[in-house]
Structure 1
Amino acid sequence: MSRGGDGPPGSRFPHPLPAGWFMIAHSDGVAPGEVRPERIFDREWALFRTESGRVALIDAFCPHLGAHLGHGGRVEGEMLECPFHGWRFETSGTCSAIPYAKRKPSGGEVRVCEIVEHGGRVWAWFASDERAPSFAVPTIAEEIDAAWEELERRDWKIHSCLQELSENGADSAHFRFVHDMPEIPEMNPRFEGPHVVSRIETAFPTRPGEKVPVQIDVTSLGMGCDVMRYSGGIELLEVVSKTPIDAETVRVDVSFRMPRSSSQAQEEVLRDLAEWLIWQFSKDIPIWENKLYRETPALCDGDGPITEFRRWCRQFYPD
């Protein structure tokens, strides 16, 4: 039985997986020669880095007899070797060697995701309808700028859908009731193709009884990445990466960077602020994990640009 009036029977969410660039790992989390299984995009994969440093994400199951390449597979130079019969696959998914055969059978290739590594992140393009990449991989200037350094990193596995998490920022009214903001922030988002850009003026606590005025410039780079730049009384970068594990589970990575020139006192303030922002994010999780997605919600005039945001999201779903 459905838990509400909008989703299909037995499901809280009506959406297929959207297309986009999704972070599948931090660069420092995949060593040369490493192979591991990954479950994302509602399927099994093998993630590996070749000896020269190239990262690949390929279909987990060998086309020969179905061995899982992420469990026991070995990197041999620039190829991944199947643990069952030694078939070797290039990062393109092509089977380039079978040690005991004179010729390769047809159908010996495996599916791959297009991979781009940039700024210490590994991004994969995924589209359930197999469309080609329609926008550029997220590039975050502060992550390749030596004047900035990492401050904090946290991750979660959340039992909800990517649509719910993505449209949370457009739901301006919830900031008052979930995040204790005394005033509902005004939002005037600009929808620019695959990006959404907005600015929020607010104030954050820095010490008990003290607040600092803050300007937040928010950019959504598709549905898989949100970048928040905090300025005013502080300087802080927050990046939220959201990767669908399946239609009802999302892997979320939140990371913060600060100017390398920050004093010790400034770093303490920024570290406290990052922890406060992480705490605020965690307050959304029990709501996401227990709510139903309403396709036809009873919206009112103070709810924020939810309808416009949903219209923007449609471009990422299969027709």
Structure 2
Amino acid sequence: MSGALELSKMLLNTVAQPAYDVYNGMVTIVSARGNQTTSGANDTSKLVTLELTTEDIQFYMTLKLIWAFAICFVGLGTAFTVLYYMYVLFFVPYERVKRLGSIGYLNHEAGQPSKKEIANLIRKRRKIGEDLPPVYPNGWFRLVDSLQLKKGEVKEVSAIGQHFAVFRTQTGKAHILDAYCPHMGGNLGVGGQVKGECLECPFHGWVFSGKGECVKIPYSEKVPSFAKTKSWPSREVNGAVFVWYHCDGVEPEWELPVVEDIANGNCNYLGRVEHHVNTHIQDLPENGSDQAHLSHLHVPNALSGNDLSTQFSSSWNFAQHIFKAYSKGSDEDTPHISKFDLTHYLLIFNRWRFLQMFFKVYQIGPGCVHLHFTSLLWKGVFVQTVTPLEPLHQVITHNLYGGWTVPLWLGRIFLFLEAVQVDRDVMIWNNKTFRPRPKLVKEDNLIAKYRRWFAQFYTENSPRLQMKTEDDASW
């Protein structure tokens, strides 16, 4: 967007303004000649006729022509800028990414430290919490969105305490291998080349299939049986590539459900919001069971912003968000799925309801949530994923898919509203501590129930937090 604005400024500064300056200069010259013609005349009331040479007239007309062209160029630049913004609004999916430290921290220090410095200070000083649950639960976790991985492309992704090489073959199949070549440790995800259905190591040219088998060593007549690397169970579903993680190396115990409206194209991709959060992974999905926070933290209007210290006093709060959640538990045959019903509406001047929407929410394992929404006019689904990049560093994404009644510009509004509400959660998560035995009142009983449900994704060998030295505590 800024490119179009810069083009308009460039046209103004390089064409229009210089032409205008020269035009003014010509007028000054003509005036000076007039003064010279009339100088020395005793009768000041005498009308003086200034005759310009042919060259003066030609130069003057040329300047007028340049000035006209300059105005035309500036007009075209402005029109281009408007058209570009319209194109983005109606044809480009929304994308918003917030990295660690960009939101969620308040400056309590003297001077003007950067956001990164503030985040590091709070991260070092914050009480981590005692008896933390394991930091990497077992389940499916998103590594990349499908749109982020083109045919013939490979990406290195670090998550869940592992390093992955995620690549898409020339026929479009996505695979996940251990990032480090078993030969001499070259990183397959950094400089690796997709060769047909295989991935070539950038170090010595060893070639691996999607199953992790080495199929070619360019300088060896024979490929030994031990020449293989780890291939991770993967699924590409609902617009993302997922990896199966289990601390004991167990094969997938359940599958991610397919959202049929996404698979059959009834819902189109409208954009995504991504947040990086400094907290334990269990804090994020636990939000769904914490109904009391919905009636407090998320009530202020989204236009009042994400600053917890000012959002309640905003003049925008003549309209408030009202959420109500109802837990439905899990079915016996799908214990890894927890279901909720959620309703939302805007309450205007405490009298009128507007923007009423109904959500069917499915928490699928520790790292995925499907939020199917309907209203009188709209239908769609938010696909939310949570992936632990480090023990206390989570990335949470919200990808929006909508039916034909949800155009891109409306999807931008939905994603903006969602983003502001998640910003508020991030501000809580980044600064809170984990309470393994919180003091709950009877109205909080759903939190305790949810924690018992989530515990199924931990096993005896699930990794615990290993405290780092202070030197390693910054981003």
**Do the two structures share a fold, i.e. TM-score over 0.5?**
yes
Alignment root-mean-square deviation, CA: 2.6
Where has structure 1 moved over 4 Å in runs of 4 or more? Answer: 1-6, 181-184, 267-270
Larger proportion of helix:
2
1:296 corresponds to? 437
Paired AA for residue 447 in structure 2:
I
Shift of 1:235: 2.7
**1:120, CA displacement in angstroms?**
2.7
More relative contact order, 1 or 2 (CA 8 Å, 6+ apart): 1
Q: Which residue of 2 aligns with 1:308?
A: 449
Judging changes above 3 Å, is the alpha-carbon distance between structure 1 residues 270 and 58 closer, same or farther for their aligned structure 2 residues? Answer: closer
Change (3 A) 1:4 1:153: closer
Distance change in 2, residues 1:46/1:216 (3 Å): same
Distance in 2 of aligned mates of 1:74 and 1:256? 32
Q: Equivalent residue for 2:140? A: 21
Report deviation, 1:270: 5.2
AA matched with 2:296:
F
Q: 1:187 aligns to what SS in structure 2?
A: strand
State the match for 1:249 in structure 2.
Answer: 393
- 2:265 pairs with 1:146: yes
% same residue: 28
> 1: CA distance between counterparts of 2:148 and 2:405?
26
Structure 2: state its 5+ residue gaps: 1-123, 300-319, 461-475
TM-score, scaled relative to structure 1:
0.88
Q: Per-residue deviation at 1:143? A: 0.8
How far apart are residue 169 of structure 1 and its match?
0.8
Aligned pair in 2 of structure 1 residues 211, 166: CA closer, same or farther (>3 Å)?
same
2:135 and 2:281 in contact (8 A); partners too:
no
**One-letter amino acid of the structure 2 residue matched with residue 153 of structure 1:** R
Q: Does 1:214 align with 2:337?
A: no
Give the total of aligned pairs. Answer: 312
Aligned equivalent of 1:203, options 341, 345, 367: 345
2:86 aligned partner:
none
- Do structure 1's residue 133 and structure 2's residue 252 form an aligned pair? yes
Larger-gyration structure (1/2): 2
Distance 2:218 2:151 in 1: 23
TM-superposed CA distance for 1:210, in Å, is: 5.7
Deviations 1:269-314 (A, max 9, x none): 5542332122111110021112111111111122251111111111
1:108 to 227, 248, 272: 227
- Which structure dedicates a bigger proportion of its chain to strand? 1
Maintained 8 Å contact 1:187/1:304: no
Comparing 231-240 and 81-90, the one that deviates more:
231-240
Does residue 370 of structure 2 align to residue 231 of structure 1? Answer: no
SS of 2:327's equivalent in the other structure is coil
Paired residue secondary structure (2:296): helix
Relative to the length of structure 2, the TM-score reads: 0.61
Q: Distance in 2 between matches of 1:55 and 1:289?
A: 33
Unaligned runs of 5+ in 1: none
* 1:284 matched residue in structure 2: 425
Name the residue aligned to 2:25: none
